[in-house]
Amino acid sequence: MTATTSTARQRRRATLASWIGTTVEYYDYACYGLAASLVFADIFFPATDPFVATLLSLGTFAAGYVARPLGALVFGHFGDRVGRKTILVATLVLMGAATFTIGVLPDYGTIGIAAPVLLVIARLLQGVSAGGEYGGAVLMTTEHSDRGRRGFLGSLVNTGTTAGLLLANLAFLPVMAMDEGAMRSWGWRIPFLVSAVLVVIGLLVRLGVEESPEFDEVKERSEVRRLPVADLFRTAWRTVALVALGIVAAGTAFTMATVYSLSYGKAGLGLSGDTMLSVLLPATVVVLVCVPLFGRLGDRIGVRPVFLGGAAALVVAPFAWFALLETRQWGWMLLGFALLLVSYAANYAVVPAYFSAVFPSEIRFSGMSIAFTTGLIGSNAIAPALSTALLEGTGGWFAIAVYMAVAALVSLVAGLFLRIPDEAPAARPEPAAASAAAP
């Protein structure tokens, strides 16, 4: 069996299953990020002053990213040992259970200090699950796909990031329209409880997907590693480091646009949360449209040039974003979000095809998961809290924009050193005849 033996039906189903899982993952994460920015400070940390409460609330958001490498180690090991499909079912169930638990947690006024402790535990379980989810979803899609379609089909999985964000924001819109008392007592819980429905849908799809052909091939060659993580760090530690640094730009930009922008709108611009959401929601359409376009471009010219172009754009885009936000005019603010998110889309669209291709198939789940989640600690995890501190310390946005630009520069340099082996899938575009094959 080879990597191209999947039927067209299985390729479509694998892409759909991966997309749904990524959507659920980022729906859950976005719900937490929105709640952490808007209500958790008062509900779970009411005994502190507002600034410290906000930092504590955003700190619990970061805890999920800190837990991701643990999930990457555990699920990466078993993903390379027993297969992609089993792990993807397990991570989806764990994510759904943790998110549902957050939705039924008592607040600080009911059980005291136990409330934030349980919140952090649930958040850590979200992080452990996500540590294996994204890498597995990416591999299930790319390893079922023809070489010349991996940029495009991998990018479709990445639209799940934005779809999850969009669904979470839509779920919070009616919640934010409630009166203050209802929203803080029970309204904020609704988006978390809705996650259970998405998980059930995702499970129904994933259970019908066959195992990755490339993993089946590894088994047929008797090359399943006994300790894939150990082999990974023995043979590919440099690649792990470069991939971790490579994701910093996209992770920082995405979290700043979708999580920190709500806090900045209130603290830096004097705008309400629903005003910022009214700008952010239409801006996310830019990502849904542009990510597949950049993925297809990656199939034509190579995924590495597209990645590098996106990283270079993210060096400049934060300054335009903040400058346009300062106008406090809806149209100009929307343009600012669009400029930032187009740059993000170019950089992030080709991550599945690019980063998965740099690892051998027998250690690919471990490599992709560990490198990706480690990089997110240096980007998504710290971006909201660090930016809050920078705003408090400097009183303006310029230092935050510089921080975002430096993060993008780190990824740009990493991409210059990170190369795909010539023999690896996605190393170069498929010849025209093969590229035209159906997904």
Write the pLDDT tens digit of every residue in 194-245.
Answer: 888 888 888 888 887 887 787 778 878 877 788 888 999 999 899 999 999 9
Average pLDDT score over residue span 320-327 = 95
Kindly state the tokens that stand for 24: 């659920």
Any idea where the domains of the chain sit in the sequence? 8-435
What's domain 8-435's superfamily in CATH? MFS general substrate transporter like domains (1.20.1250.20)
Q: Report pLDDT digits (tens) over 369-421.
A: 999 989 988 887 788 888 988 988 898 899 999 999 999 999 999 999 998 88
Tell me how far apart the alpha carbons of residues 200 and 34 are, in angstroms, rounded to a whole number: 23
Cα angle 184, 185, 187 (rounded to 5 degrees) comes to 70
Say whether pTM exceeds 0.85. Answer: no
- Of the chain, the end-to-end C-alpha distance in Å amounts to 18
Q: Which residues contact 138 (CB under 8 A, 6 or more apart)?
A: 18, 154, 157, 351, 352, 355, 356, 368
Q: What is the pLDDT of residue 397?
A: 93
Kindly state the tokens that stand for 402: 């510089």
Q: What is the pLDDT of residue 3?
A: 43
Per-residue pLDDT for 103 more than 60?
yes
Per-residue pLDDT for 77 more than 80?
yes
Average pLDDT score over residue span 176-189 = 82
